[in-house]
Amino acid sequence: MTFEYVKALHIIFVVTWFAGLFYIVRLFIYQTEALQKPELERNILKPQLDLMSSRLWYIITWPSAVLTLIFGTWVLMYRWDYMELGFMHAKLGFVVLLYIYHAFCHVLFRELQSGKARWTSTQLRIWNEASTILLFAIVFLIVLKSTISMVWGILGLIGLSLTLMLGIRLYKKYRLKKEK
């Protein structure tokens, strides 16, 4: 019975972690765009966006990442036999990439909190989709429990990536057209 509770908590914190990752990069986009506004607007927007980012990052996203790791490790201890299967190695590889993504988001967070925007809003929109791709890879691997299907999964991820890039380009054209 304990296993089901631990697994449920792991899933809950994965969901809250991803929610935080998805939204924090949206806030990065808004912060970047706010830095390009005239001084009066910037002075109003930046403190509010900084506060929102800080609360999201430190109250939801970071704790969820830590609790995901704790409960995920606990789940793995119950299902150590999965470590003999290739799908689990692939899944854990994608999880490592997700923690690297999280760490890089922390770098972006600190830069934007100090008023430095290294990336454009379009680059951040593309960056935001990396977590979506990782989510797809991790969920499909854990549900299908198969690396044989990895070829189809990789083709699917490539298709998803191309679709997301097309969507970002179309949205950029729409925004530019609307601003004129």
Q: Cite the annotated binding site by residue number.
A: 10, 91
Pairwise CA distance, residues 77 & 92, whole Å? 14
C-beta of residue 117 within 8 angstroms of C-beta of residue 111: yes
Per the annotation, binding residues for heme are 10, 91
Pairwise CA distance, residues 39 & 162, whole Å? 37
Q: Residue 145 carries which DSSP code?
A: -
C-beta of residue 17 within 8 angstroms of C-beta of residue 113: no
C-beta of residue 84 within 8 angstroms of C-beta of residue 127: no
HEC per residue, 87-105: HHHHHHHHHHHHHHHHHHH
For the chain, what's the residue count? 180
Helix, strand, or coil (residue 172): helix
